[in-house]
A and B are shown apart, each in its own frame.
Chain A
Amino acid sequence: MRAHSSVRFLAPLLVALALGAGQHLAAQSPAQGPAESPSALLARVDDQRRVTDFTFVMQMTSFDGDKQVEADTIWGFIKGVGTANRSLVSFAGPASVKGRKLLMDGPVVYLLFPRTTNPIRLSPLQVLLGQASNGDVVRTAFSDDYDVDSLADDDHGGVACYRFTLAVKPTRTDASYRQVVLWVDKEHLHPVYAEFSTGDRLLKQATYSDYRSALGREIPFSVDIHDADNPRKHTVMTYLKVGHKPMADTVFRREYLPSWVPEQPE
């Protein structure tokens, strides 16, 4: 069954979710000042990156050192924000996966192959595995899942930053990472770099870059994620197009998937 042999092709999905569901808003009003609590500041970082009804075309390129291992192009639609998002995703390339469509609504995941009408139920883990675990790295609505342990001033790549040290909330036992250290550009409230760990062991490193104005926001068009266990391996996720398109809540149904016609953003 190709559904189960194609898990690697699902890798971009959560990444796309993450990027689409939590775009960072341009800093209309950066830090409010010393009176603002660290938690409130973090919540503002999250709150300002909300884009709902988000459509996109994304290129996912995985590398082993300098060698490109695979490259996938996906078209997608995301409704909602943070961990509450729901998505429809279509694979546009390479040819061996073209035409596959995927629905994610919380733990409900269905994959549909071309020329069939039987969406196959997948477990969330089948989407999370492999490079898709990068999705956890970038999708995080930090204030939803983490408490601020500490906040300090720091410098990252010559940019003045807030450095948040975050610990997973006791209620979020399902979170993939127990601790996150997040560097946020003070001037724009852009996350620029993050380290995701178990608390003892570093797992992922994410670099957010190429912020561009789109949809009235400042969106990181590129995220480069390194696997801490194997630093040679990394995945670059790049938006090719982004857009906004309202869709009904009912489209996130198994029965809708065969009828869904993916569209590129205007």
Chain B
Amino acid sequence: MKTLTVAAAALAVAATTLLPGAAGALDGQLLLDAVPTAALVQQAPSAPWMQAETTELAAQGAVSHTQALAEGLSLSGSVWALADTLPSGSPLSTPPAKLDLESRVLELKLTWEALPGTLIVDGGKLLIHPSSGFFRTPLNIISHAALGTTTNLSGSAVGTWEEGWVGARATLLVGNLTVSNFFSPRLDWSDAADSVLAYVSSRQPDYQDLSRVTLRVGATDLQVLGLVSTGGPGSADPDVHVTAGAGMDTGIGDAITVRAEVSAADSTSRLAPGSTQLPLAVVTQSVAWAPRALAGFTWTGADQLTVMAEYYYDGAGFGGSDYRQLISYSQALRGAPGAGPDLLDQFGTFSAGQHYGFVRIAGPVDTTLSAAAWTTVNLQDFSGLSAVVLTATFDQWTLGASFLDAWGTTDTEAGLSPLLWRVDLEVSLFL
């Protein structure tokens, strides 16, 4: 699969060389990570948990290019590849070939400004990412999970690498109004085919149609969006599903930006504890129209110091007595490893509850070095994750170091997380 990536990069280089009027040169990024991690692991399904310290090594890279083909017509694309010694993060689950290789076409689209500045049509593989949230992104209702397996240094919900969706979009910009519609077909294939195609593109299990309307009112951007999706006849989920959302971005004075957004799906399924006593049991629940909402601001002070705070609510998460049951279940699971599935991480890391807060402070130390510290807190049990990050930026490369710590008692979400702490040393080289 390395061949695929190299071939794609070679094509991009060739395009740069052969086609006239390049709008921008080939650019790329190579990221090298060394990630010492401490985590709780099991030697065997019924064995007790024990702390293991490992170091994951990973190299990731992406190459991008945008090519103007004619007036109003352009082709752009990005490819990404990863080599990772320990994608699972667990020393007990190493890649069969000692090195896990992944690659993906992140984006490959043809864009045509049919009416310059007014009507834009693009097709191919497109990134769809309407949310303004940093720590959580309620409006990214059809986003793929972030690619790459190493630590997210910044605490952001969106990783460095994103994969788009195959489809077509039309965008109309009139006055202060923007209307767009994106359609992506169902693209599914066999597991055998996926063993090859996964290096190029992820499956698309549903037909999806996303409509989005944004309106500029003064200095405020408002948006509403709606998604209709279905697996179609013969699929695992042939029902039609609807998701709706709305968001707002604005500023207060010269120093503050404010964002708020909410989305809700007609149904969200989750696994819930059926029994918190041995033998453990789980049940599948469906939550209708559970809202996900985010409100936050960023303040900029003197000397480029920024303070960001966000609050996130997830109606599909566990609250009240449901949350206490989840904690009891997870405590029982800690005492009887393998007795049931892990329910805490079913929505992603540190996302099982309903109420979360996030605070981040960042600023430059000098012209080269910047520092940041962030913490995210489960407001239901006051456990959390905290990190400090130092980044030195040079013209062609950056050097970053971070330390992430999970904190909380053993009856809390972070306290029950296998992750204890993680260090990330990262070198990023730019083409």
Q: Which of A150-158, A163-171, A189-197, A255-263 contacts B (4 or more CB under 8 A)?
A: A255-263
The 8 A CB mask of A83-99 against B (1 = contact, 0 = none) is 00000001011111011
Q: Are A5 and B255 in contact (CB under 8 A)?
A: no
Q: Are B117 and A94 in contact (CB under 8 A)?
A: no
Given the complex of chains A and B, what is the CA–CA distance between A230 and B62 in angstroms? 40
Given the complex of chains A and B, what is the CA–CA distance between A130 and B259 in angstroms? 25
Q: Does A232 sit within 8 A of B, measured CB to CB?
A: no
Contact (A99, B24) CB under 8 Å given A5-B391, A115-B106, A121-B249: yes
Q: Are A263 and B158 in contact (CB under 8 A)?
A: no
Kindly list chain B residues whose C-beta atoms are within 8 Å of the C-beta of A118. 129-132, 158
Q: Does A160 sit within 8 A of B, measured CB to CB?
A: no
The 8 A CB mask of B416-431 against A (1 = contact, 0 = none) is 0000000000001011
The range of chain A's interface size is 35 or more
Given the complex of chains A and B, what is the CA–CA distance between A70 and B396 in angstroms? 12
Contact (A248, B118) CB under 8 Å given A8-B364, A255-B180: yes
Q: Are B304 and A7 in contact (CB under 8 A)?
A: yes
The 8 A CB mask of B105-131 against A (1 = contact, 0 = none) is 011000101001110101000111111
Q: Nearest Cβ in chain A — how far from B351, in angstroms?
A: 19
Q: Which of B171-179, B233-241, B337-345, B407-415 contacts A (4 or more CB under 8 A)?
A: B171-179
Q: Are B398 and A123 in contact (CB under 8 A)?
A: no
Q: Which of A22-30, A106-114, A137-145, A219-227 contacts B (4 or more CB under 8 A)?
A: A106-114
Given the complex of chains A and B, what is the CA–CA distance between A253 and B173 in angstroms? 8
Kindly list chain B residues whose C-beta atoms are within 8 Å of the C-beta of A259. 111, 113, 120, 122, 171
Q: Nearest Cβ in chain A — how far from B67, in angstroms?
A: 9
Q: Are A123 and B255 in contact (CB under 8 A)?
A: yes
Q: Nearest Cβ in chain A — how far from B341, in angstroms?
A: 32
Closest residue of B by beta carbon distance from A124 = B254
The 8 A CB mask of B127-167 against A (1 = contact, 0 = none) is 11111101000000000000000000011101011100000
Q: Are B161 and A115 in contact (CB under 8 A)?
A: yes
Q: Are B304 and A98 in contact (CB under 8 A)?
A: no
Task: State which residues 296-334 of B face A: CB under 8 Å.
Answer: 298-300, 303-304, 306, 308
Q: Are B304 and A8 in contact (CB under 8 A)?
A: yes
Q: Are A107 and B154 in contact (CB under 8 A)?
A: no
Contact (A121, B391) CB under 8 Å given A126-B304, A250-B175, A259-B111: no
Q: Are B257 and A129 in contact (CB under 8 A)?
A: no
Q: Are B397 and A96 in contact (CB under 8 A)?
A: yes
Kindly list chain B residues whose C-beta atoms are within 8 Å of the C-beta of A123. 251, 253-257, 298-300
Q: Nearest Cβ in chain B — how far from A123, in angstroms?
A: 5
Q: Are A126 and B251 in contact (CB under 8 A)?
A: no
Closest residue of A by beta carbon distance from B367 = A69
Give the contacting residue for B306; candidates A4, A249, A251; CB below 8 A: A4
Q: Nearest Cβ in chain B — how far from A133, in angstroms?
A: 11
The residue in A5, A6, A93, A129 that gathers the most chain B C-beta atoms within 10 A of its C-beta is: A5
Q: Does B372 sit within 8 A of A, measured CB to CB?
A: yes
Kindly list chain B residues whose C-beta atoms are within 8 Å of the C-beta of A126. 300, 304, 306
Closest residue of B by beta carbon distance from A7 = B304
Kindly list chain A residues whose C-beta atoms are within 8 Å of the C-beta of B208. none
Give the contacting residue for B24; candidates A5, A92, A122; CB below 8 A: A92
Q: Does B221 sit within 8 A of A, measured CB to CB?
A: yes
Q: Does A159 sit within 8 A of B, measured CB to CB?
A: no
Q: Does A254 sit within 8 A of B, measured CB to CB?
A: yes
Q: Nearest Cβ in chain A — how far from B214, in angstroms?
A: 6
Q: Are B259 and A121 in contact (CB under 8 A)?
A: yes
Contact (A117, B254) CB under 8 Å given A253-B173, A254-B214: no
Q: Are B370 and A5 in contact (CB under 8 A)?
A: yes
Q: Are B24 and A95 in contact (CB under 8 A)?
A: no
Q: Does B393 sit within 8 A of A, measured CB to CB?
A: yes
Q: Does B216 sit within 8 A of A, measured CB to CB?
A: yes
Kindly list chain B residues whose C-beta atoms are within 8 Å of the C-beta of A184. none
Kindly list chain B residues whose C-beta atoms are within 8 Å of the C-beta of A106. 219
Q: Are A99 and B27 in contact (CB under 8 A)?
A: yes
The 8 A CB mask of B360-391 against A (1 = contact, 0 = none) is 10101001001010000000000000000001
8 contacts between A and B (CB under 8 A): A6-B393, A95-B430, A115-B78, A117-B162, A121-B259, A123-B257, A248-B117, A253-B173
Q: Which 4 A-B pairs have the closest CB atoms?
A: A248-B117, A95-B430, A94-B395, A250-B173
Q: A8-B367, A114-B27, A122-B257 are in contact. List 9 more A-B contacts (CB 8 A).
A: A1-B156, A7-B364, A90-B24, A95-B27, A98-B24, A116-B158, A124-B254, A247-B116, A248-B118
